[in-house]
Structure 1
Amino acid sequence: MSADEERVLNTFLKDGRIVTMPAKAGKRRVLLEHVAAAFEPGVRIPEREVDAVLRAFYETDWVALRRYLIDAGLMARENGLYWRTGGPVDVG
């Protein structure tokens, strides 16, 4: 993780939870990639399980957070199932 990415996360996360959604797309992308990392790539899970994970990050508006992830191409959905489609993957 770059120093810039770390700075963004330190600004917008407190105790692992999102305090406010960044207005700038680049900063929002860093935050969304961090959230997407909570999901295993390609594993399909029902919406209620996705919501449970997202609520842990952003109780204020987890539905918007889910939409941001879809719009950013980090998650996809079909027939009520969601799966991670993008973002960095830790292979170490």
Structure 2
Amino acid sequence: MTSHPVRPVADLFAADGRLKAIPRRPARREALLAHLAETLFEAGRTYREAEVNEALTSVHEDFPALRRYLVVGGFLARTKDGAAYRRQQRPTGTGGAIPAVA
């Protein structure tokens, strides 16, 4: 397996600030998700699903995929009913578990 240098996340965005595409490679997508979580969502604040969708729509039309990647990746925590989201301090080695908001 060859190690590729990680390109800057800025390469993923067009001049207008929108994402060109959601990366397929996991490492690249993870770097993007970390960037989105940090730049679009404040730590300690609870967001309604509509607010999360609006923030994600500002960068890419496939906001459901981005939202799902953020939750599954541990960047956003979601209540069981899916009504509220919070930015997570991402724990290492989540093993794909979906964190929930208490």
Partner of 1:73: 74
Uncovered stretches (5+) of structure 1, i.e. residues with no partner? 88-92
State the one-letter code of the partner of 1:51.
N
Structure with bigger RCO (C-alpha 8 Å, 6+ apart): 1
SS of the residue aligned with 2:58?
helix
What is the correspondence of 1:24-43 to structure 2 with a 5 Å cutoff? 24-37=25-38, 38-43=40-45
Partner of 1:16: 17
- The Cα RMSD (Å) is 1.6
In the alignment of these two chains, the number of paired residues is: 82
Partner of 2:85: 82
State the one-letter code of the partner of 2:8.
V
1:25 CA drift (Å): 0.6
Uncovered stretches (5+) of structure 2, i.e. residues with no partner? 91-102
Give the stretch that moved more between structures: 62-71 or 37-46. 37-46
Displacement over 6 Å in runs of 4+:
none
1:41 CA drift (Å): 1.2
1:52 CA drift (Å): 0.5
What is the correspondence of 1:43-82 to structure 2 with a 5 Å cutoff? 43-59=45-61, 61-78=62-79, 79=81, 80-82=83-85
1:86 CA drift (Å): 2.9
Give the stretch that moved more between structures: 8-17 or 72-81. 8-17
TM-score, L = length of structure 1: 0.80
TM-score, L = length of structure 2: 0.73
Name the larger-Rg structure.
2
Q: Are 1:17 and 1:58, in contact at CA under 8 Å, matched by a contact in 2?
A: yes
